[in-house]
């Protein structure tokens, strides 16, 4: 029975013979008169998800590696995914602009015409950053962006989406630039499933970015045809359960499609907790057009982070993560989910936010608190941290310095954000002196993946390649879809066939030609 299920592209009959289930491959089940219980169809990984999603993005499989920030979603991951027939997103958030530009060049040189995408993160404290990202992507022909951390639409994301919009000879609206919007709230998903706001379209026309005719066309398209339901994930997250969030956004998708009657149907993908074959199968069974992974790919060889972090991730359990203040939205109290095992970052970052809320300036900090910060967190005087912070913003955003010199509380926020920003860099570089301060974005998926791979070759971080991991999840998802159909007929099944263990690329190739 397990052997038949493993041959995922070969259908088989289920018949009842002498009171017991029997299996038969190919053709009709014979003329013995034994009753047919059912047919277990072929389920190929190619067939999982939405076919239009795959064709629109030039993919073989409906599988996406999300844009993990600070370049953890690396050029290597983007290339590996593209060559595997999947989609990789470069993690541009928190990466200096010159490095993002270099990454665009590298990706385009290495993948050619294969599919790829770049992250476009909301930057409320640095609106100039959004403009720079939009300018870069438009000038360099980056036609697919993953928008993340947006609470509302902004002028720059609308400018990127609508640039170059035109009408083809057959009357279809052509949009060169596409968004895959990562959201965890219904109101945000609604904005991305809606046409661009009129106020932004009018402004784009006034500034000469769009013609009046282009603005009229833009009013007939959604901001994003693809919205990812981001459940309990690493990094920015609202810790939503996927089984609650995904059905809600699927219903929203259908309502928005009915209201706007878009030429192309809207789609919803699933992210957060995608870490095992059964979890992947569950996401597709719920109706996801595609799946997106993050945490488990951060632990792979191609990820742009240190071997020390990959080892920490490989040892994590599902409960080894927690929420703490986010560097990019520190003042707003926005939180991210990080690894807590083996690091004191979460505790120290939370203490910084508590002090920020309690005191008007660094000068107002009690002596005991200041000494603790300078000795254990920053490891230097706060004024020295401010000088480094000042030099950084002098190059990146001088307006922040001007504001800080007028507002002592803003100065304190910038200094505290220095630690939050540096902690992720210490992690990606593997600085051994700062191991206890590593900021490692991770969700419960990492622990689930480790539990599934325990005792197998994938337990070793050196064996974890993104392509191998992705192919195992897709193959296993196809297996479990067939298993579920068989269980409908059989009522109960032995535990031995309910387990799918990781397989090497050669083993997978033997049962399915990836």
pLDDT tens digit string along 316-370? 999 999 999 998 889 989 899 999 999 999 999 999 999 999 999 999 999 999 9
- Lowest-confidence pick of 47-51, 325-329, 425-429: 325-329
The CATH architecture annotation of domain 49-305 reads Alpha-Beta Barrel (3.20)
CATH 3.20.20.70 region(s) of the chain?
49-305
Quick one: pLDDT at residue 404?
95
Mean pLDDT of 97-120: 97
Strand segments, DSSP code E, in 310-459 are: 321-325, 335-339
Q: What is the reported pTM?
A: 0.94
CA distance 126 to 421: 14
Mean pLDDT of 245-258: 98
Torsion over CA: 75, 183, 321, 435 (sign): positive
- pLDDT tens, residue by residue, 298-331: 999 999 999 999 999 999 999 999 999 998 889 9
pLDDT reading at 16 higher than 90 = no
DSSP code at position 286? H
Quick one: pLDDT at residue 20?
81
Quick one: pLDDT at residue 38?
86
pLDDT reading at 25 higher than 80 = no
Quick one: pLDDT at residue 27?
60
For the chain, give the mean pLDDT.
94
| Res. 2 pLDDT band, cuts 50 70 90 | confident
| Res. 30 pLDDT band, cuts 50 70 90 | low
CA distance 88 to 233: 17
Quick one: pLDDT at residue 32?
60
Spatial contact of 337 and 237, defined as CB atoms under 8 Å apart: yes
Residue closest to 308 by CA, chosen among 429, 425, 422, 419: 429
């Amino acid at each position: 029975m397990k052997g038949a299920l493993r041959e995922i592209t070969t259908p088989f009959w289920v018949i009842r013979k002498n009171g017991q289930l029997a299996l038969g491959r190919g053709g009709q089940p014979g003329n013995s008169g034994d009753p047919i219980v059912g047919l277990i169809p072929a389920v190929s990984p190619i067939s999982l998800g939405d076919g239009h999603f795959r064709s629109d993005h030039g993919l073989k499989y409906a599988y996406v590696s999300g844009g993990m920030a600070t370049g953890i979603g690396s050029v290597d991951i983007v290339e590996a995914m593209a060559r595997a027939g999947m989609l990789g997103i470069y993690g541009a958030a928190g990466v200096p602009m010159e490095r993002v530009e270099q990454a665009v060049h590298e990706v385009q040189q290495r993948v050619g015409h294969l599919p790829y995408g770049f992250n476009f993160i909301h930057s409320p404290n640095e609106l100039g950053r959004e403009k720079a990202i939009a300018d870069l992507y438009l000038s360099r022909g980056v036609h697919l962006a993953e928008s993340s951390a947006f609470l509302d639409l902004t002028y720059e994301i609308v400018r990127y989406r609508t640039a170059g919009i035109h009408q083809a000879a057959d009357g279809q609206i052509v949009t060169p630039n596409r968004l895959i919007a990562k959201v965890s709230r219904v109101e945000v998903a609604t904005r991305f499933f809606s046409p661009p706001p009129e106020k932004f379209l009018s402004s784009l026309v006034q500034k000469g970015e769009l013609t009046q005719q282009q603005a009229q066309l833009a009013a007939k398209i959604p901001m994003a045809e693809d919205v990812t339901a981001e459940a309990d994930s690493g990094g920015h997250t609202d810790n939503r359960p996927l089984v609650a969030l995904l059905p809600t956004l699927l219903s929203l998708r259908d309502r928005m499609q009915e209201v706007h009657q878009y030429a192309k149907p809207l789609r919803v993908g699933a992210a957060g907790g995608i870490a095992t074959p059964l979890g992947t199968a569950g996401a597709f069974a719920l109706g996801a057009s595609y799946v997106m992974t993050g945490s488990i790919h951060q632990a792979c060889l191609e990820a742009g982070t240190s071997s020390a972090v990959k080892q920490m991730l490989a040892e994590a359990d599902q409960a080894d993560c927690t929420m703490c203040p986010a560097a990019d939205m520190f003042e707003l109290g926005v939180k991210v989910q990080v690894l807590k095992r083996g690091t004191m970052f979460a505790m120290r970052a939370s203490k910084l936010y508590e002090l920020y809320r309690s005191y008007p300036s660094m000068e107002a900090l009690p002596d005991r608190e200041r000494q603790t910060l300078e000795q254990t967190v920053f490891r230097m005087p706060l004024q020295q941290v401010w000088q480094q912070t000042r030099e950084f913003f002098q190059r990146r955003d001088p307006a922040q310095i001007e504001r800080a010199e007028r507002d002592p509380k803003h100065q304190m926020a910038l200094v505290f954000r220095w630690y939050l920003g540096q902690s992720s860099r210490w992690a990606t570089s593997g600085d051994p002196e700062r191991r206890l301060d590593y900021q490692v974005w991770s969700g419960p998926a990492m622990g689930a993946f480790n539990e599934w791979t325990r005792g197998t070759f994938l337990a070793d971080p050196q064996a974890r390649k993104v392509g191998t991991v992705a192919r195992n999840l897709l193959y296993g998802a196809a297996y479990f879809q067939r298993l579920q159909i068989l269980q409908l007929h059989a009522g109960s099944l032995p535990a031995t066939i309910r387990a799918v263990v990781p397989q090497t690329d050669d083993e997978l190739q033997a049962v399915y030609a990836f």
